[in-house]
Amino acid sequence: MTIPNTEIRDMFDQVADLLELKGENPFRVRAYREAARVISGFSEQVEKLVKGGGDLTAYRGIGKDLAGKIQEIVETGSLKQLEELKAQIPESLLELLQIPELGPKKIAALHKELGVKTLADLKQAVEAGRVSTLKGFGKKSEQKILESIGRTKKAGGKRMLISDVEPYATALEQYLKDQPGVKQVAVAGSYRRGKETIGDLDILATCGEGDEEQVMDAFVRFEDARDTIAHGKTKSSVRLRSGLQVDLRIVPEESYGAALHYFTGSKAHNIAVRKLGIDRKYKINEYGVHDGENRIAGRTEEDVYAAVGLAFIEPELRENMGEIEAAQENRQPGLITLNEIRGDLHAHTSRTDGRNTLLEMAEAARDLGYEYLAITDHSQKVAMAGGMTEKDLREHMQRIDAVNEQVEGITLLKGIECDILAEGTLDLPDTVLKDLDLVICSVHYYQRLSREDQIKRVLRAMDSPYCQILGHPTARLINTREPIDIDLEKIIEAARERGVVLELNAQPDRLDLPHNYCKMAAELGVKIALNTDSHSIEGLKRMKGGVTEARRGWLTKADVINTRPLGDMLAMLRKR
DNA sequence: GCCGTTTTCGGCCCGACTGTTTTCAGTCG
Q: How many CB atoms lie within 10 A of CB A457?
A: 21
Q: What is the pTM of this model?
A: 0.84
Q: Which nucleotide lies closest to A136 by the C1' atom and the CA atom? A: B20
Pick out the nucleotide with least CA–C1' distance to A60: B2
Nucleotide nearest to A31 (CA to C1'): B1
Strand B and chain A: which residues 136-175 have CB closer than 7 Å?
136-142, 144
Band of residue A157 on the pLDDT scale cut at 50, 70, 90: low
- Whole-angstrom CA distances from A498 to A302, A464, A467, A470, A475 are 43, 9, 9, 12, 21
pLDDT bucket at A526, cuts 50 / 70 / 90: very high
**Strand order from edge to edge, sheet including A528-531:** A343-347, A372-375, A411-419, A438-442, A469-470, A501-505, A528-531
* Burial readout A42-59 (b: 16 or more C-beta within 10 A, e: otherwise): bbbbbbebbeeeeebeeb
Domains and CATH numbers, chain A: 5-155 (1.10.150.110), 160-250 (3.30.460.10), 264-328 (3.30.210.10), 338-574 (3.20.20.140)
Give the dihedral sign, CA A246/A247/A252/A255: negative
CA of A234 to C1' of B16 (A): 8
Per-residue model confidence (pLDDT) at position A56: 87
pLDDT at A1: 60
Name residues 217-236 of chain A with a Cβ under 7 Å from nucleic strand B: 230-236
How far is residue A454's CA from residue A443's CA, in Å, rounded to a whole number? 10
Query: How do residues A102-115 score in pLDDT, each as one tens digit?
Result: 888 888 888 888 88
Which residue is closest to B1 in terms of CA–C1' distance?
A: A28
According to DSSP, the β-strands at A288-291 and A469-470 are unpaired
Q: Give yes or no for residue A329 having a pLDDT over 80.
A: yes
| 3-state DSSP assignment of residue A526 | coil
The fraction of chain A above a pLDDT of 70, given in percent, is: 98
For B21, nearest residue by CA–C1' is: A136
Protein-proximal nucleotides of chain B (any atom < 7 Å from a CB): 1-3, 6, 11-21, 25-29
For residue A114, give Cα distances in angstroms to A72, A107, A307, A509.
36, 10, 51, 43
Taking every pair of C-alpha atoms in chain A, what is the biggest distance, in angstroms?
A: 80
Identify nearest nucleotide to residue A28 by CA to C1′ distance: B1
* Between A134 and A158, the higher pLDDT residue: A134
**What region does A424 belong to: left with phi over 0, alpha with psi -120 to 50, or beta?**
left
Residue of higher predicted confidence among A544 and A150: A544
Q: Which nucleotide is nearest to A101 (CA to C1')?
A: B27
Evaluate whether A525 touches A488 at the Cβ level (below 8 Å): no
Q: How far is the CA of A172 from the C1' of B7 (A)?
A: 50
Which single residue has its CA nearest the C1' atom of nucleotide B27? A103
Separation of A304 CA and B6 C1' (Å):
24
Kindly tell me if the per-residue pLDDT of A67 is higher than 80.
yes
Bridge partners, residue A540, by sequence: none
Residue nearest to nucleotide B13 (CA to C1'): A271
Which residues lie below 8 Å from residue A386, measured CB to CB, with a gap of 6+?
Answer: A351, A352, A353, A378
CB atoms within 10 A of CB A293: 5
Using the CA of A280, which nucleotide's C1' is the nearest one?
B6
Whole-number pLDDT of residue A154: 47
CA–C1' nearest nucleotide, residue A97: B27
Tell me the range of A19-33, A268-282, A456-470 where mean pLDDT is highest.
A456-470
A103 CB inside 7 Å of strand B: yes
- Residue ranges with strand state E in A278-369: 283-285, 288-291, 294-297, 343-347
List the A258 CA – B9 C1' distance (angstroms): 33
Instruction: Quote the CA–CA distance of A202 and A258 in Å, as a whole number.
Output: 15
Nearest to A487 by CA among A517, A507, A525: A517
Q: Distance between CA atoms of A33 and A27, rounded to whole angstroms?
A: 10
Name the nt closest to A69 by C-alpha to C1'.
Answer: B1
Least confident of A41-55, A149-163, A466-480, A536-550: A149-163
Which of A211, A224, A221, A217 has the alpha carbon at shortest distance from A180?
Answer: A211
A289-321: per-residue pLDDT in tens? 999 888 999 999 999 999 999 999 999 999 998
- Calculate mean pLDDT across residues A484-511: 94
Does A106 contact strand B, using a CB cutoff of 7 Å? yes
How confident is the model over A526-530, as a mean pLDDT? Answer: 98
Give the integer Cα–Cα distance in Å for A158 and A156: 5
Distance CA A87, CA A515 (A): 38
For strand B, list residues 251-310 of chain A whose Cβ lies within 7 Å of it. 263, 267, 270-271, 274-275, 277-279, 281, 283-287
Nucleotide nearest to A232 (CA to C1'): B17
Strands A411-419 and A438-442: parallel
Give the dihedral sign, CA A356/A361/A364/A368: positive
Mean pLDDT across A86-102? 85
Percentage of chain A beyond pLDDT 90 is 65
How far, in Å, is the CA of A65 from the C1' of nucleotide B9?
18
